[in-house]
A and B are shown apart, each in its own frame.
Chain A
Amino acid sequence: MNPTTFSELLTDISDEYIVSAANPHSKPIHWYQVSAIAACIVLLMAAAIYPKLRIQTPEIAVPPESVAEVITSTTTAPEIAEYTETQTATSPLQTTFDSVTATVSTTASVAGSAVVTETGTKTVTELPETDAHTKTEPTKVEQPVNTEQPHTTDPAITEFTQPATTSSVTDNPELTVGSIPATVSTAQLTTDTLQTVSLPTQTSATETEPVDPLGIARTLFETFISENHLPARIADEAQYPDFTEKIIIEWDPASDIDVEHLILQFAKENHIDGYLFILHQVAPGAIIGDSDTMLVHK
């Protein structure tokens, strides 16, 4: 067989194939149809994706930053120096009183920034507003001060620590500025009824809910007093209009428990001492506060 013969053989193939090939039906490719279909697909995809793109908001990456880091970063050397000067100026005031009670000295030893005033039959101890300086000062208090022991205060109250005159204060002078424990254990305290309370230690730039630090502090104090059955209470703020943005706590100094120290310790540990204002009785059974409507503690 040769190719010519093979070509002649093809003559006898099936009639179906011959007729089919006589009028081949091959649809031409219409490129405008392809373009239109592609455009429709693009439009559909855009319609599906664009609304999602509009809804999405860019995420703001906020690095986790603890309170301690914030305070450390905001505490500068000039501010510390200014704070030291303030303390130096307020320290002699304490020495002008002939009878500084042990409670006062204790307060000074804890806070290191106490401003002591004495009016008549009671002593009012106020702690300054909490700022970076107070947060950076050392908070290591190993044991509560025995208020029964008479002692004197050193007129030269330094910035961070009570001098050796408060013998119950730890002797370890190594104090680190800027190291604030977020959660402080109170197991070292002599009172067994203390509990550990934690404050939220992180602040976020993206927080939208308003924060009421005073309310949080009040809740913490209330919880602390009630759970430890302290002879104290949070006074009605309306009765002390002069002390705004303060939590006024009334307590009975005649109790066996050193309530003021415990409250101060608690406030210190939870960094809410800036909102604290403490009233206490001088004599047992006296009326707390200036108002006659105040309750009388035992």
Chain B
Amino acid sequence: MNDQAIISLFEQRNEQAISESNQQYGALCRSVARDITGNDEDAEECLNDAMLAAWNAIPPAKPKNFCAYLLKLVRNAAHDRYRAAHTMKRNAANIAGSIDELAEIIPDRGDVVDEVERREMIGAINRYLHGLPQNQRDLFVRRYWYATDIAALSKMFHMTESHVTMTLSRLRKRLQKHLRKEGLL
């Protein structure tokens, strides 16, 4: 079943939309949630939270890319759980490493971000990603959006771990240079 059919089920308030979404993107969503939260239980709860959020949002929302929409919902739920776990000093899995890496280029100036700054930052990141080769862009997104660990990335991209680490380091420095050029850092 394609995305439009699933969205139609959501619009019809058919509960089959949940099962079809789970069958279509459940594994991918679980892996994203697991990489962020660090355990399967939290990942499963994140997936359930994302499905509930989609059921409540559609309609009136009509996402153009249902896969990305669902993944974003899962990631937000996972980040909420990560934030709660981090507050309770629980060790999160892969997301901690990726955030530490981002700390090299993003100075800590508090966690309050207004909507204007948020939109400008997202636009700058999209422009940065647009300027990258697809392979490097996929690697960057896989590491800092999906929170995939280095070993999995080396297998996924057929690269050595040192090569992955070196490439990610260069991508971060390039992102920092790009954000400074845009006046966001």
A30's nearest neighbour on chain B, judged by CB, is: B158
Known contacts A11-B72, A24-B142, A3 near B102 by CB under 8 Å: yes
In the complex, the answer to whether A20 meets B102 with C-beta atoms within 8 Å is no
Q: Provide the residues of chain A in CB contact with B100, threshold 8 Å.
A: 3
Whether a CB of chain A sits under 8 angstroms from the CB of B129 is: yes
In the complex, the answer to whether B138 meets A2 with C-beta atoms within 8 Å is no
Besides A21-B146, A29-B158, 20 other A-B contacts (C-beta < 8 A):
A1-B107, A4-B111, A5-B111, A6-B106, A7-B98, A7-B144, A8-B76, A9-B121, A12-B72, A12-B118, A13-B122, A13-B129, A13-B141, A15-B64, A17-B126, A18-B68, A18-B71, A19-B67, A21-B137, A21-B145
Whether a CB of chain A sits under 8 angstroms from the CB of B151 is: no
- A interface bracket (residues with beta carbon within 8 Å of B): 20 to 34
Most buried by A among B86, B100, B142: B142
In the complex, the answer to whether A8 meets B79 with C-beta atoms within 8 Å is yes
Name 11 A/B residue pairs within 8 A (Cβ), A-sorted: A1-B108, A1-B121, A2-B108, A3-B103, A7-B79, A9-B113, A9-B125, A11-B145, A13-B145, A18-B67, A24-B156
Q: Provide the residues of chain A in CB contact with B102, threshold 8 Å.
A: 3, 6-7
- B interface bracket (residues with beta carbon within 8 Å of A): 35 or more
Whether a CB of chain B sits under 8 angstroms from the CB of A28 is: yes
Q: Provide the residues of chain B in CB contact with A28, threshold 8 Å.
A: 158
Q: Provide the residues of chain B in CB contact with A11, threshold 8 Å.
A: 72, 75-76, 79, 145
Known contacts A1-B117, A3-B108, A15 near B68 by CB under 8 Å: yes
Whether a CB of chain B sits under 8 angstroms from the CB of A14 is: yes
Q: Provide the residues of chain A in CB contact with B125, threshold 8 Å.
A: 9-10, 13
* Complex-state Cα separation, A146 to B130, whole angstroms: 111
Known contacts A9-B122, A15-B64, A2 near B137 by CB under 8 Å: no
Whether a CB of chain A sits under 8 angstroms from the CB of B135 is: yes
Whether a CB of chain A sits under 8 angstroms from the CB of B2 is: no
Q: Provide the residues of chain B in CB contact with A24, threshold 8 Å.
A: 135, 138-139, 142, 156-157
Known contacts A24-B156, A24-B157, A1 near B111 by CB under 8 Å: yes
In the complex, the answer to whether A22 meets B67 with C-beta atoms within 8 Å is yes
In the complex, the answer to whether A1 meets B141 with C-beta atoms within 8 Å is no
Q: What is the minimal beta-carbon distance from A200 to any residue of chain B, in angstroms? A: 73
In the complex, the answer to whether B71 meets A2 with C-beta atoms within 8 Å is no
* Complex-state Cα separation, A16 to B129, whole angstroms: 11
Whether a CB of chain B sits under 8 angstroms from the CB of A27 is: yes
Q: Provide the residues of chain A in CB contact with B95, threshold 8 Å.
A: 7
Known contacts A4-B111, A5-B111, A9-B118, A14 near B138 by CB under 8 Å: no
Whether a CB of chain B sits under 8 angstroms from the CB of A26 is: yes
* Complex-state Cα separation, A12 to B95, whole angstroms: 17
In the complex, the answer to whether A2 meets B72 with C-beta atoms within 8 Å is no
In the complex, the answer to whether B122 meets A3 with C-beta atoms within 8 Å is no
From B28, B111, B146, B157, A2 is in contact (CB under 8 Å) with B111
* Complex-state Cα separation, A12 to B115, whole angstroms: 12
Q: Provide the residues of chain B in CB contact with A15, threshold 8 Å.
A: 64-65, 67-69
* Complex-state Cα separation, A21 to B75, whole angstroms: 14
Whether a CB of chain A sits under 8 angstroms from the CB of B109 is: yes
Q: Provide the residues of chain B in CB contact with A9, threshold 8 Å.
A: 113, 118, 121-122, 125
In the complex, the answer to whether A4 meets B83 with C-beta atoms within 8 Å is yes
Q: Provide the residues of chain B in CB contact with A5, threshold 8 Å.
A: 111, 113
B68's nearest neighbour on chain A, judged by CB, is: A15
Q: What is the minimal beta-carbon distance from A30 to any residue of chain B, in angstroms? A: 10
In the complex, the answer to whether B71 meets A22 with C-beta atoms within 8 Å is yes
